[in-house]
Amino acid sequence: MTNQPKLLDRRTLIAAAGATAALSLAPGCAPIPNRPVVVLGAGLAGLSAALALQDAGLEVRVIEARDRVGGRVLSHRNVPGNPESGGTSFAPGYARLVSACTAYGVGLVDLTPIVPLFFQRDFYLGGERIAADAWATHPRNPFPEPMKKLLPWAYLGAVVGTANPLTTNDAWVDPTNKALDVSLYGWLSAQGWSDELIRMAYDINPGWGDNARDVSTLMVLCALKFQQTQQELARGKAMGYVAQGGNQAIPEAMAKALKNPVELKRQAVAIRADETGAEVRLADGAVIKASHVVSALPTTTLRDVKIDAPLSAAQSEGIGKLGVQTISLMHIVPKSKFWELDGLAASMATDGAVNMVLAEHKGATPDEITSLTVWLRGENARRFDRMKPAEAMAAIVQEIEQLRPAAKGQLEPVTYHSWINDPHSKGDWAVWHPGQVTAYSRALAQPAGRLHFCGEHTAVSNRGMEGAMESGERAALEVLQTA
């Protein structure tokens, strides 16, 4: 399955890459002698900004609190197949990410042969197994005709589809759409969706927030529009990619391209910035004088940094209040092919304590299952996060065994990662609660003196890993345009 991607044509790349082309046209900034640009965070956003600034001739120092680069891109090299706990896969339309892989020598694995296998899973409702082909006639199926054949996790995207009121990827931040900055529950209810339909199609496995009441309709519609765009860009190309050695190989390769190595295990505790300069104070007491500071920190950790800069009221409030996804993932190595013993799908989705168990097909052949990834969201994640990792893994295994007796004694848990308990992220992707898109989306990305902000929560046209890189390019452009 290993290959190099079919590159997008030049027109598509320029359209998707946005600010990249503009960087070469930006007027030179007035750097302060002997002061570098300091970038906080060595995830995709921070590295993207740092490399763009370095390519423009500026000295850059990247400061990272973790002992690794990658941020919320995390590959588990201690598990067969290098499964991911963050940044799981990406499409050919992720122009920046694909371009980075080409530029920095990261090989890609074409997921096309295994994508159909990803959707082969049974549904467990109240502990009852419902085969995919039995769902359409099940008495608890609340979906209207002709949608009854759609499984719960496919319903929302299929129904919204081309009926999405957002016609472009950036329309979610357009003030003319602020009427959609209400809860997804309220929007769907107004269209006649029953509580049970909303629960089945969204709440049992929420993609954003804890449930449909917790997330802005604009956030969900934005994400669905982005997915639709990616599907359109992928036509005639691969259905998806992962990097050889895990997606963490991408930020690792980007970091190696920096002239100054990333400074690991150095945590920022304070930032001062105005129109004349900036500085960063670290937990070890060091103070770094900077020409500019680019913060690629998520709002959840930026809240712990003392900021002395001309933030707007909306910006300051948004940093303190923007939501974040509660999600934890666990990786299991099966000791046997227990799914062949019970004759059921290896993957499953449930309305119980475990949201999903997905088989990872990352072996020598598409049908080889190398590991199982357990997905826990919202309250399910919080329930297990309150336990010690070993206790959580044992409890999760027990939950799976109750549903799949054939799996008893056949599951070897290897690792459990809680993004909420991760002190350097305190959650995963940003979640915009009702009203927050209108209140904060434009403010959070605004520079404050010589302090600039990036991160997927400041992206406009893209989501996830591609959104992180979009935001890094935009922050670099702001620095370069400072006179």
Phi first, then psi: give them for residue 460, nearest 5 degrees: -110, -50
Rounded distance, CA 401 to CA 409, Å? 8
- What's the pLDDT tens digit per position in 354-389? 999 999 999 999 999 999 999 999 999 999 999 999
Residue 25 has pLDDT above 80, yes or no: no
Rounded distance, CA 76 to CA 426, Å? 19
CATH 3.90.660.10 in the chain is located at 113-163+182-215+326-418
- What's the pLDDT tens digit per position in 31-71? 676 799 999 999 999 999 999 999 999 999 999 999 999 99
CATH 3.50.50.60 in the chain is located at 2-72+243-319+435-480
Rounded distance, CA 38 to CA 377, Å? 34
Least confident of 11-25, 201-215, 256-270, 445-459: 11-25
How many C-beta atoms lie closer than 10 Å to residue 127's C-beta?
10
Write the CA distances from 463 to 169, 371, 460, integer angstroms: 10, 27, 8
With pLDDT > 70 as the criterion, what percentage of the chain qualifies? 93
β-bridge pairing 371-377 and 2-3: unpaired
Question: DSSP states of 118-174 as a string?
Answer: HT-EEEEETTEEE-GGGGGG-TT--PPTT-TTS-HHHHHHHHHGGG-S--STTGGG-
Q: What is the pLDDT of residue 235?
A: 87
What's the whole-number mean pLDDT along residues 169-196?
Answer: 97
What's the whole-number mean pLDDT along residues 200-217?
Answer: 96
- What's the pLDDT tens digit per position in 416-457? 999 999 999 999 999 999 999 999 999 999 999 999 999 999
pLDDT range class, residue 11, cuts 50, 70, 90: very low
Pick the CATH number of 113-163+182-215+326-418 from 3.90.660.10, 3.40.50.970, 1.10.3720.10, 3.60.9.10: 3.90.660.10
Q: What is the pLDDT of residue 31?
A: 60
pTM higher than 0.75, yes or no?
yes
Residue 7 has pLDDT above 50, yes or no: no
Token pair of 14 as six digits: 């320029």
Residue 20 has pLDDT above 60, yes or no: no
Residue 328 has pLDDT above 90, yes or no: yes
Residue 465 has pLDDT above 50, yes or no: yes
pLDDT range class, residue 19, cuts 50, 70, 90: very low
pLDDT range class, residue 221, cuts 50, 70, 90: very high
- What's the pLDDT tens digit per position in 115-129? 999 889 999 999 999
How many C-beta atoms lie closer than 10 Å to residue 313's C-beta?
8
Residue 345 has pLDDT above 90, yes or no: yes
Burial class from Cβ neighbours inside 10 Å (0-12, 13-18, 19+) for residue 371 reads buried
Mean pLDDT across the chain, nearest whole number? Answer: 93
pLDDT range class, residue 161, cuts 50, 70, 90: confident
Strand (E) or helix (H) holding 279:
strand 278-282
- What's the pLDDT tens digit per position in 83-121? 999 999 999 999 999 999 999 999 999 999 999 998 899
Q: Which of 441, 447, 429 lies closest to 37, judged by CA?
A: 447
Fold designation for 2-72+243-319+435-480: FAD/NAD(P)-binding domain (3.50.50)
